[in-house]
Structure 1
Amino acid sequence: MYLKAFSDLVLVNQLKAEDDRAAFNELYLRYWKVIYDIAAKKLQDPDLAKDVVHDLFVELWYKRHTLVIHTTFAGYLYTMLNHRFIDLQRKKAVHTRAQNELLKTHETASESVHDSFIYAELETRLMHRIEHLPPAMRQIFLLSRQEQLSPQEIAERLSLSTQTVKNQIQNALLRLKEFQMEK
Structure 2
Amino acid sequence: MTIYSKFSDVELTSFLVKGDHMAYEEIYNRYNALLYIHAYKKLGNREQAQDIVQEVFITLWAKHKELLDIVNMGGFLYTCIYHKILDLITHQDINRKHISQLSTYLRSKNSNTDFLVREKQLTVIIEREIAALPSKMRQIFELSRFKHMSHKEIAEQLDVSEETVKKQVKNALKILRNKLGLFVYLVFLLRF
For the aligned pair, the TM-score class normalised by the smaller chain equals: 0.5 to 0.7
The runs of 5 or more residues in structure 2 that have no matched partner are: 118-192
Q: Moved runs in structure 1, 4+ residues, more than 2 A? A: 68-71, 112-117
Contact 1:28 1:57 in 2 (8 A): yes
Q: Percent identity?
A: 28
Deviations 1:148-172 (A, max 9, x none): xxxxxxxxxxxxxxxxxxxxxxxxx
Residues paired across the two proteins, number: 116
Deviations 1:50-107 (A, max 9, x none): 1111111001111111125455110001100110111011101110111011111101
The two structures have a TM-score, normalised by structure 1, of: 0.59
The two structures have a TM-score, normalised by structure 2, of: 0.56
The residue aligned with 1:166 is none
Contact 2:56 2:81 in 1 (8 A): yes
The residue aligned with 1:9 is 10
**Partners of 2:88 and 2:27 in 1: CA distance:** 25
- Within 5 Å, give how 1:49-128 maps onto structure 2: 49-113=49-113
Deviations 1:101-126 (A, max 9, x none): 11111011101238889xxxxxxxxx
The residue aligned with 1:144 is none
The runs of 5 or more residues in structure 1 that have no matched partner are: 118-183
Cα distance 1:21–1:65, how it changes in 2: closer, same or farther (>3 A)?
same
The one-letter amino acid of 1:66's match is E
Q: Indicate the RMSD between aligned Cα atoms, in angstroms.
A: 2.0
**Partners of 2:41 and 2:31 in 1: CA distance:** 16
Cα distance 1:107–1:68, how it changes in 2: closer, same or farther (>3 A)?
farther
Cα distance 1:78–1:110, how it changes in 2: closer, same or farther (>3 A)?
same
